[in-house]
Chains A and B, each alone.
Chain A
Amino acid sequence: MQQKDSWLLPDGIDEILPEDAKHLECLRRKILDMFACWGYELVIPPFIDYLDSLLTGSGHDLELQTFKLTDQLSGEMLGVRADMTPQVARIDAHNLKYEWPTRLCYVGTILHTRGDALEKTRSPMQIGAELYGHAGKESDVEVIRLMLETLAITGLQNVHLDLGHVGIYRALSRQAGLTEAQETALFDALQRKAKPELQELVADLAIGDMLKAMFLKLPELNGGKETLDKARAVLSNADDNVKQALADLEAIAENLTTKYPSLPISFDLSELRGYHYHTGVVFAAFIPSVGREIARGGRYDNIGAIFGRARPATGFSADLKLLSVLSKEINQREQRARIFAPCSDDLALSEKIRELRAQGQVVIQQLSGPTGNAKDLGCTSILEKDNQNWVVRALA
């Protein structure tokens, strides 16, 4: 690299400057405090980890997204985490082993080998919460509410909730006895709601007309509350798992509507984001002016099995950097008052400064030489000696 380019950052890697960092850190603290008030305990998983452990229960996508390196000590492959969820699941399954539901939260930088198609960043700051050990609707609702509260803290307006259930497509594939290759091909078309391609694929399947009709209708099952009624009619010949999934979705939506009457909720039964990983209800939050979801989550039961304990699990996560950027405009930055202290070795002055800082005030002490005056440093008041005492005086 040329000397003149030494300031250049790698693609998708960013640095956050003071104003923005202050806002991000403020959000981080508020969100973690809120998690704590809901009983979610903070865990700090390692930044790099054995690759096998990182990729547990995840699909091929996560493997591509993970930076890999060789451990010089053990000769094993290590990976830099591209998702913290499997690490947190391991903590629940292996380290904590509580018999009761466990609530954990986390925040940290993750790395991606390739930027997302939309978010070019390769170093998101993942923040999220996970609830282990409960398989019912109450835990789904709790985690969705936690996501909504997180977004409320950012101040983002007009949040829109989208609900789906990967169990529906899973049950239909099982009922149809699809091979893995067929399931993947249909998944790909469904994910894009590509009806023309779906028609071609389904026509080639050796399954009954009844099942074919259900697959073909899946991409149309999205929209408002009426979607569930439509789904019940269209999927009337599906097995009980599908009926249970629809009933669960309805109950969750009703529960949320009573708590958030103005929250727009939509359903999308062919939304299969994280299909390899999720097992039940999936959800995402959208806001106008952003072309993709800004927070997402869902149920992923039994991921801990490989670490010795299968447990129901659900959770959500978001990119704190993205939330910070989106909410920057809305949040008026509270500028903390800064006090300017002259350069002096006076013991009384150091004592006064220590006292002010202990109260949470910002005091900037001048260095020797030409180091800028109070105005340059953004100070609104100054410490001055009045008789033997140092006092704070407002600057004109």
Chain B
Amino acid sequence: MLTIAVSKGRIYEEALPLLEDAGITPIDDPNKCRKLILQTNRDDVQLVIIRATDVPTFVEYGAADLGIAGKDVLLEHGAESLYEPLDLKIACCRLMTAAPMDAPDISGRIRVATKYVKTAQRYFASRGIQAEIIKLYGSMELAPLVGLADCIVDLVDTGNTLKANGLEPRDLIMNISSRLVVNKAAMKMKHQAIQSLLDQFEKTLAER
């Protein structure tokens, strides 16, 4: 039995065609039922639907053999204890800094609101900037408007949310896409099943 951990929402929607090409179709629709374990057309494959930030944890412990997680989540989690063999090139966006439109650059210590605490720390340290990181769980865009922070670090897709709140994207930290992650023990003990799935994904990706 292979268990694949996927998060609801954009990653799930964009992963479906990939899974379908690999011959895996979920029987239930997670948007319509409340089940957290989804059976598929294959007896030997099931999906678990969890929060995006929990995907590396589930796969690390072997609670799921495979998972689909954004590179942003993997960076923040620290994924040395996982294999991440494939870039699925789905749910693409950019991890960026953003600040109020026309705000001048701040010299010295800056305050940054983000949910990517470790990634932001590493990024500002590599730029030689002293940054005080404020951990938020959502609505990052609000922080500069109410004086909580000078800038934010967040995922940017279209940039519309930023614009609507009077912010503009500044520096690109990195391009983000979803990766296929694999539990180390599963890669060894369920090698054939996992390898054939990897090959299938790779084939589909090459054809795109």
Contacts and interface: CB of A to CB of B under 8 A. Distances in A.
B188 A118 contact: no
B85 A291 contact: no
Interface of A: 117-118, 160, 162, 188, 191-196, 219, 222-224, 264, 266, 268, 286, 288-293
B185 to A, nearest CB: 5
Interface of B: 59-63, 78-87, 179, 182-189, 191-192, 195
B186 A291 contact: yes
A193 B83 contact: yes
A266 B80 CA distance: 21
Nearest to A294: B185
Contacts of B86: 195-196
Given A117-B78, A192-B82, A195-B86, A290 B185 contact: yes
A191 B78 CA distance: 13
B31 to A, nearest CB: 29
Contacts, number: 68
A192 B79 contact: yes
A292 B80 CA distance: 12
26 contacts: A117-B81, A118-B61, A188-B80, A192-B79, A192-B80, A192-B82, A193-B83, A193-B182, A193-B187, A194-B83, A194-B84, A194-B85, A194-B179, A196-B87, A222-B187, A223-B192, A223-B195, A224-B191, A266-B188, A286-B189, A290-B62, A291-B62, A291-B63, A291-B184, A292-B81, A293-B185
Contacts of B63: 291
B81 A193 contact: no
B80 A193 contact: no
A191 B187 CA distance: 13
A291 B79 contact: no
A191 B81 CA distance: 9
Contacts of A118: 60-61, 81
Contact of A160 (B62, B188, B195): B188
A193 B84 contact: yes
A288 B83 CA distance: 18
Contacts of A268: 188
A292 to B, nearest CB: 6
Given A191-B80, A192-B82, A291-B63, 11 more contacts: A117-B78, A117-B80, A192-B80, A193-B83, A193-B187, A195-B85, A196-B87, A196-B179, A291-B185, A292-B184, A292-B185
A192 B81 CA distance: 7
Most buried by A among B80, B81, B183, B185: B185
A223 B83 CA distance: 14
B61 A291 contact: yes
Given A117-B78, A291-B184, A219 B189 contact: no
B66 to A, nearest CB: 12
A224 B194 CA distance: 13
Nearest to B58: A291
B191 A223 contact: yes
